[in-house]
C-alpha cells in the first residue's frame, strides 16, 4: 500500500503517532503539508504523488479547511476514489460526521487520532487484501492478459507460477472453470503439471471437482495421462478412487485400459474397487481377463472379490 498523510505545516505529536503506526506496518508515508501560498511546482509534485497513493490520512482538517489548496487536494483525492481517514481536530466534524461507520466507506472521519488509528488497525488486513487484488488486476491488464478462467488455465498449462499467482491475487477462484467447464485442477492434471496440481490443492481447490466435457475428476485425468506422480499425489490427498465418470466409466477401469501396472497397483492398494461395473456391465477385473493382461490379473488376485 502507498500511504499519504496530509497535515498542516507543523510536524506535531499527531503526525508522529501516525508515522510510527504506519512504519510498524512496513509503510513509510509520503507527506503533504498544507499552508497558505504553496508554490505551484510543489503543489504539482504533490498531485503526482496523490496519483500513486492508495490510502490517505488527513490530520487536523479544521486547520486547513479554508485553504483553497486543501480543497483542491481533497477534490483530487475524491476524484481518484481514495480511501481517506480524516482526523477533524477536536469535535469539528462538519460534513464528514456521518461517514465514520463503515470499513467500506471511502471517507471516514474521527474526533481523535487514537480512534482513527484503532479503526485503521482493525481493518488493515482487509485494506491490504483489497490493494493487493487491485494491484494484481492492473498488472494483468498491463500485460494484456484477460481476467478469465480460460486465461488462467492457459498459464496453468504452461506452469507459469508468476502469472498464476497474479490471477489468484486478483481474486480468481482456484475452483474456477474454463468456458467448456473444465476445472483448473483438471487442466493441470491433463497437462501433467504436478507443480500446478500441488499449487491448486494447497490453495484450496476441490480435489474431486468434475469436468463437463469428459466427466472426469483430476485423478481420472492423471490416470488417463498415465501420470503416476500426479496420480500418487492426488491419492495421498484423498481423491475419490471409486469415482465413476459421467459416461459410466470407473476410475480403475480406465487404469486397466491404459495398462499402467504401477497406477493399477497404486489404486488397488488405496481402496479402489476392481469389481465395480461400468455402463456396459464390465468391471476392471473383467477387462483384465478379457484382454489377458496377466500382470494386472495377478495383482487383482490379491484383492478379494466384492459384491
Question: Of 70-84, 138-152, 218-232, where does mean pLDDT reach its minimum?
Answer: 70-84
DSSP for 47-109, written as a single string: HHHHTT-SEEEE--GGGTTT-HHHHHHHHHHHHHT-EEEEE-STT--GGGTTS-S-TT-SEEE
| pLDDT tier for residue 103 given thresholds of 50, 70 and 90 | low
Instruction: Report, as an integer, the average pLDDT of 286-298.
Output: 94
| Integer CA distances (angstroms), 174 to 71, 113, 169, in order | 44, 40, 11
pLDDT at 92 over 50: no
Is the entire prediction scored with pTM above 0.75?
yes
> What pLDDT score does 102 carry?
61
Instruction: Write the Ramachandran bin of 226: left for phi over 0, alpha for psi from -120 to 50, otherwise beta.
Output: left
Which CATH architecture fits 3-130? 3-Layer(aba) Sandwich (3.40)
Written as nine digits, the cell of 37 is 501560498
| pLDDT tier for residue 216 given thresholds of 50, 70 and 90 | very high
Proportion of the chain above pLDDT 70, given as a percent: 95
> What pLDDT score does 40 carry?
83
Instruction: Report, as an integer, the average pLDDT of 9-31.
Output: 92
Rounded Cα–Cα distance for residues 191 and 221 (Å): 9
Q: Which residue has the higher pLDDT, 137 or 93?
A: 137
Which H helix or E strand runs over 43?
Answer: helix 40-50
Q: Which residue has the higher pLDDT, 306 or 23?
A: 23
Q: Which residue has the higher pLDDT, 100 or 267?
A: 267
Cβ-based neighbour number of residue 241 at 10 Å: 23
pLDDT at 101 over 90: no
> What pLDDT score does 96 carry?
43
For 296, the 3-state DSSP assignment is helix
Question: Per DSSP, which regions of the chain are E strands?
Answer: 3-8, 30-34, 55-58, 83-87, 107-110
Written as nine digits, the cell of 221 is 485425468
pLDDT at 276 over 50: yes
pLDDT at 99 over 60: no
Rounded Cα–Cα distance for residues 99 and 115 (Å): 14
Contacts with 257 (C-beta within 8 Å, 6 or more apart), sequence order: 287
Instruction: Report, as an integer, the average pLDDT of 113-142.
Output: 94
Which H helix or E strand runs over 135?
Answer: helix 113-142
For 250, the 3-state DSSP assignment is strand
Amino acid at each position: 500500500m502507498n500511504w499519504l498523510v496530509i497535515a498542516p505545516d507543523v510536524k506535531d505529536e499527531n503526525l508522529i503517532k501516525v508515522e510510527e503506526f504506519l512504519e510498524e506496518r512496513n509503510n513509510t508515508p509520503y507527506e503533504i503539508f498544507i499552508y497558505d501560498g504553496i508554490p505551484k511546482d510543489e503543489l504539482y509534485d504533490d498531485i503526482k504523488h496523490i496519483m500513486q497513493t492508495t490510502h490517505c490520512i488527513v490530520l487536523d482538517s479544521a486547520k486547513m479547511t479554508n485553504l483553497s489548496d486543501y480543497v483542491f487536494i481533497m477534490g483530487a483525492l475524491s476524484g481518484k476514489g481514495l480511501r481517506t481517514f480524516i482526523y477533524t481536530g477536536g469535535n469539528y466534524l462538519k460534513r464528514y460526521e456521518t461517514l465514520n461507520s463503515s470499513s467500506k466507506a471511502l471517507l471516514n472521519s474521527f474526533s481523535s487520532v487514537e480512534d482513527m488509528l484503532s479503526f485503521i488497525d482493525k481493518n488493515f488486513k482487509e485494506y491490504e487484501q483489497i490493494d493487493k487484488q487491485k494491484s494484481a488486476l492492473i498488472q494483468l491488464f498491463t500485460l494484456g492478459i484477460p481476467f478469465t478462467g480460460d486465461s488462467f488455465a492457459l498459464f496453468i498449462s504452461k506452469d507459469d507460477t508468476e502469472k498464476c499467482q497474479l490471477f489468484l491475487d486478483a481474486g480468481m477462484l482456484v475452483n474456477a472453470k474454463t468456458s467448456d467447464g473444465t476445472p483448473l485442477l483438471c487442466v493441470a492434471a491433463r497437462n501433467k503439471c504436478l507443480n500446478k496440481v500441488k499449487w491448486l490443492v494447497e490453495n484450496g481447490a476441490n480435489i474431486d471437482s468434475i469436468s463437463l466435457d469428459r466427466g472426469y475428476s483430476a485423478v481420472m485425468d492423471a490416470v488417463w495421462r498415465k501420470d503416476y506422480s500426479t496420480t500418487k499425489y492426488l491419492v495421498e490427498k484423498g481423491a475419490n478412487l471409486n469415482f465413476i465418470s459421467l459416461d459410466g466409466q470407473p476410475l480403475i477401469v480406465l487404469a486397466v485400459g491404459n495398462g499402467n501396472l504401477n497406477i493399477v497397483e497404486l489404486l488397488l492398494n488405496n481402496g479402489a474397487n476392481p469389481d465395480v461395473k461400468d455402463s456396459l456391465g464390465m468391471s476392471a477385473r473383467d477387462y483384465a481377463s478379457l484382454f489377458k493382461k496377466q500382470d494386472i490379473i495377478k495383482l487383482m488376485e490379491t484383492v478379494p472379490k466384492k459384491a
